């Protein structure tokens, strides 16, 4: 998928746009950290972290980063880039030489998603969802739940704040009601800069092409300077 957008069908994309992009899982703030992380509480020998809750993630207007897109159940990992310029942004995973290749964009107030290659996929339309901007995405992030401070065990290690966002339907009060988690996401941003995104796990209908409905993006670099955003010719409106 993209989390900038939601690849797949237009209906799931519209629902998951709040996640992702709101780009893609919110249970409670006390949920256990996922594999590959060390919680701040564990690192502090069980001492409770009394520091205040940090501000929620906020994708900047200008940035550029490189990393990997990971689909674990398919055993596929491809190169990944994520770039922003003047409030537009673009994700690109894989390429013509890889088994997965797609791009997602927020471009001039419209959410685009185009999947060039995916195992078992024969249709390749460019999906457009008008009326979605960087501001809409960041408003979605404002409702994220803080899970905790953690350390991503990589080289180098990344000290992050772990957040969860999601779309659950129907929206009902607490109690014994049937609910369906449509789009869920774990977001890991730098503990010193909520606009530096190091890792995202997406789960739900926005990952419809994947049998297990979950995909990861893991960033190796993330810089706060303008990137390059290019709308594919296939997504341009007809003249």
Report the SS3 class of residue 94. strand
- Whether 87 shows a pLDDT value over 70: the answer reads yes
- 49-65 mean pLDDT: 90
Indicate the SS3 state at residue 169: strand
Dihedral, 116, 91, 150, 180 alpha carbons, nearest 10:
-60
Query: Would 90 be classed as within a structural domain?
Result: yes
Whether residue 121 is contained in a domain is answered as yes
52 or 100, greater pLDDT: 100
pLDDT tens readout for residues 206-236: 788 888 889 999 999 999 999 999 999 999 8
What would the pLDDT profile of 62-80 be if each residue is shown by its tens digit? 999 999 999 999 999 999 9
Q: Which carries the bigger pLDDT value, residue 55 or residue 210?
A: 55
| 140 within a domain of the structure (yes/no) | yes
Percent of the residues in the chain that have a pLDDT greater than 90, as a whole number: 62
- Indicate which CATH number applies to the domain containing 31: 2.50.20
Any domain includes 108: yes
In a domain, 4, yes or no: no
Number of domains observed in the structure of the chain: 1
Q: Is residue 58 part of a domain?
A: yes
CA distances from 18 to 43, 80, 160, 176, 211 (A): 33, 22, 22, 25, 22
- Condensed to tens digits (0 to 9), the pLDDT of residues 100-109 reads 999 999 999 9
Q: Which domain holds residue 198?
A: 10-235
∠ CA 110-70-31 to the nearest 5 degrees? 90
- Determine, yes or no, domain membership for 194: yes
Residue 52 pLDDT level (bands cut at 50, 70, 90): confident
Lowest-confidence pick of 3-7, 17-21, 72-76, 216-220: 17-21
Given pLDDT bands bounded at 50, 70 and 90, which one contains residue 45? Answer: very low
**Please, which residues have CB within 8 angstroms of residue 132's CB and are 6 or more apart in sequence?**
17, 106, 109, 110, 111
Is residue 174 included in any domain, yes or no?
A: yes
């Amino acid at each position: 998928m993209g989390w900038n957008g939601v690849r797949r069908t237009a209906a799931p994309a519209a629902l998951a746009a709040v996640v992702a992009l709101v780009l893609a899982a919110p249970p409670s703030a006390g949920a256990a950290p996922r594999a590959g992380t060390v919680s701040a509480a564990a690192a502090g020998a069980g001492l409770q972290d009394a520091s205040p809750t940090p501000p929620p993630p906020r994708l900047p207007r200008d940035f550029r980063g490189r990393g990997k897109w990971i689909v674990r159940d398919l055993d596929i990992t491809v190169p990944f880039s994520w770039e922003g310029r003047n409030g537009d942004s673009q994700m690109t995973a894989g390429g013509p030489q890889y088994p997965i290749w797609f791009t997602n964009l927020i471009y001039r107030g419209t959410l685009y998603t185009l999947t060039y290659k995916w195992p078992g996929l024969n249709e390749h339309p460019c999906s457009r969802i008008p009326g979605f901007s960087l501001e809409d995405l960041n408003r979605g992030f404002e409702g994220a739940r803080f899970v905790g401070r953690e350390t991503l065990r990589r080289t180098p290690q990344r000290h992050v704040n772990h957040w969860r966002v999601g779309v659950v339907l129907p929206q009902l009060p607490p109690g014994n009601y049937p609910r369906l988690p449509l789009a869920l996401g774990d977001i890991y941003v730098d503990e010193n800069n909520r606009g530096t995104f190091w890792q995202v796990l997406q789960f739900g209908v926005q990952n419809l092409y994947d049998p297990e409905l979950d995909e990861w993006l893991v960033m190796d670099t993330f810089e706060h300077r303008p990137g390059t955003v290019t709308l594919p010719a296939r997504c341009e409106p007809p003249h």
